[in-house]
């Protein structure tokens, strides 16, 4: 129910799109050579979608993900997140939007090694200045949801790969973001734990959270309802499978 409330401040629910990219271009300069990482990307994502972004290395899918996650800015084009033009925001405003609306999941988990599982999950709450009592409640709830209660006081090096990624997912979702961006979430996991993690992500999606997964893995990509294929910085196919 809280998800419903967070989605789209737009007046009309019919025109509401969570993300709308228009004419996005992004070029990097590596020495003398230009790399056109994104060419004229137009994309509309509605709330609650399950999207896989696929393509070979260097096709621009990571750049797209960074851009969607507000870690990068386009050279050209417009990006509206929940109806709000985010290309004009300054760094601090972007940080605030990242903190509240976007959850990241990385291939290499990116847990802070000296912090316990609980403290890692608590990190977004700490950064956005939540009161302490509130934090403890939310963290213990998250630990329970992700089956990590008995691992709460273990450091990342005492956790298995699957547990680490579960901690990372708990951390990414503790502030109930609108979008979950996952970059090769199973890349560092074996098959069965990878499967477990994907199921967890799909469960979150089923609860209404928009899920965007970047992956090389065809099998993982095939599970998404919408598959976006990229090549040379452009979107070459955008298929919504009827599942």
Q: Which residues bind another protein (CB under 8 A)?
A: 66, 69, 71-72, 91-92, 95-100, 104, 106, 108, 110, 112-115, 123-124, 126-129, 171
Instruction: Evaluate whether 34 touches 28 at the Cβ level (below 8 Å).
Output: yes
| Shortest CB 99 distance to another protein, Å | 2
| Shortest CB 63 distance to another protein, Å | 9
Is the Cβ of residue 55 or residue 69 nearer to another protein in the bound state? 69
How far apart CA 150 and CA 153 sit, in angstroms, is 8
| Shortest CB 239 distance to another protein, Å | 28
Q: Cα angle vertex 1, ends 7, 136, to 5°?
A: 100
Instruction: Evaluate whether 229 touches 52 at the Cβ level (below 8 Å).
Output: no
Is the Cβ of residue 28 or residue 149 nearer to another protein in the bound state? 28
**Token pair belonging to 55:** 């393509």
How far apart CA 119 and CA 218 sit, in angstroms, is 34
- Nearest of 27, 9, 5, 38 to residue 230 by alpha carbon: 38
| Shortest CB 156 distance to another protein, Å | 12
| Shortest CB 23 distance to another protein, Å | 22
Distance spanning both ends of the chain, measured CA to CA: 24
| Shortest CB 98 distance to another protein, Å | 4
Contacts from 228-232 at CB under 8 Å and sequence distance 24+?
A: 228/43, 228/51, 228/52, 228/53, 228/54, 229/54, 229/55, 230/53, 230/54, 230/55, 230/59, 230/60, 230/61, 230/64, 231/55, 231/56, 231/59, 232/36, 232/39, 232/59, 232/60
Instruction: Evaluate whether 25 touches 39 at the Cβ level (below 8 Å).
Output: yes
| Shortest CB 83 distance to another protein, Å | 20
Is the Cβ of residue 97 or residue 227 nearer to another protein in the bound state? 97
């Amino acid at each position: 129910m809280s998800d419903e409330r967070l989605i789209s401040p737009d007046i009309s629910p019919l025109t509401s799109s969570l993300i709308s990219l228009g004419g996005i271009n992004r070029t990097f300069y590596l020495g003398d050579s230009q790399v056109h990482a994104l060419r004229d990307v137009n994309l509309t994502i509605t709330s609650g979608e399950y999207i896989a972004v696929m393509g070979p290395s260097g096709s621009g899918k990571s750049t797209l993900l960074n851009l969607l996650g507000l870690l990068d800015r386009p050279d050209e084009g417009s990006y509206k997140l929940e109806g709000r033009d985010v290309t004009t925001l300054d760094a601090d405003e972007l940080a605030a939007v990242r903190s509240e609306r976007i959850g990241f999941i990385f291939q290499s988990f990116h847990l802070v090694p000296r912090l316990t599982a609980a403290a890692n999950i608590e990190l977004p709450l700490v950064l956005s200045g939540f009161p302490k009592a509130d934090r403890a409640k939310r963290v213990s709830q998250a630990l329970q949801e992700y089956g990590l209660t008995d691992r709460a006081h273990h450091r990342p090096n005492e956790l298995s790969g699957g547990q680490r990624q579960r901690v990372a997912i708990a951390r990414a979702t503790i502030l109930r973001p609108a979008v979950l961006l996952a970059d090769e979430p199973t890349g560092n996991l074996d098959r069965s734990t990878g499967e477990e993690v994907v199921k967890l992500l799909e469960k979150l999606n089923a609860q209404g959270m928009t899920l965007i997964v970047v992956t090389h893995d065809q099998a993982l990509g095939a599970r998404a309802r919408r598959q976006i294929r990229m090549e040379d910085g452009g979107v070459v196919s955008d298929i919504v499978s009827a599942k």
